[in-house]
Structure 1
Amino acid sequence: MVVLNKIYTKTGDHGETALGNGARVAKHSMRVTAYGTVDEVNATVGLARQHATGETDEALARIQNDLFDLGADLCRPDMEKDAEAEYTPLRISDAQVARLESEIDAMNAALEPLRSFILPGGTALAAQLHLCRTVSRRAERLSVELATVEHVNPAAVKYLNRLSDWFFVASRVSNDNGKEDVLWVPGANR
Structure 2
Amino acid sequence: MGYRLSKIYTRTGDDGQTGLADGRRVNKSHPRIEAIGALDEFNSQLGLLLAELEEQQSQAPKLEEIITVLAPCQHRLFDLGGELAMPEYQALQADEITRIEQAIDAWNVQVGPLKEFILPGGSRLIAQAHVCRSSARLAERRCQALHSSEALRPEVLGYINRISDLLFVAARLIAQYQERSEIHWQAAEKPL
CA contact (8 A) 1:104 1:169 kept: yes
Q: Give 2:47's aligned amino acid.
A: G
- The TM-score with structure 2 as length reference comes to 0.87
3-state DSSP of counterpart to 2:173: helix
Partner of 2:76: 66
Alignment pair present for 1:17 and 2:15: no
2:96 maps to which residue?
96
Other structure's SS at 2:52 match: coil
Alignment map for 1:1-190 (pairs within 5 Å):
3-53=4-54, 54-77=64-87, 82=88, 89-176=89-176, 180-188=181-189
Which residue identity does 2:84 align to in structure 1?
A: L
Q: CA, structure 1 residues 188+121, in 2 after alignment: closer, same or farther (shift >3 Å)?
A: farther
1:20 shift after superposition: 2.2
Query: 3-state SS of the aligned residue for 1:17?
Result: strand
Query: Between the two proteins, what is the percent identity of the paired residues?
Result: 40
Aligned residues: 180
Is the Cα contact below 8 Å between 1:73 and 1:153 reproduced in 2? no
Contact map agreement 1:92 1:156 (CA 8 A) in 2: yes
Q: Deviations over 1:131-159 (max 9, x none)?
A: 00001001101111111111212211110
Q: Aligned equivalents of 1:40 and 1:119: distance in 2? A: 22
| Residue 60 of structure 1, CA deviation | 2.3
Query: Which residue identity lines up with residue 6 of structure 2 in the other structure?
Result: N
Which consecutive residues of structure 1, in runs of 5 or more, have no partner in the other structure? 83-88
Give the root-mean-square deviation of aligned CA atoms: 1.7
How far apart are residue 188 of structure 1 and its match?
4.8
| Secondary structure at the counterpart of residue 159 of structure 1 | helix
Letter in 2 for 1:72: G
Q: Is the 8 A contact 2:111 2:176 kept in 1?
A: no
Q: Deviation of residue 21 (structure 1)?
A: 1.6
TM-score normalized by the length of structure 1: 0.88
Q: Structure 1: how far apart are the matches of 2:77 and 2:118? A: 26
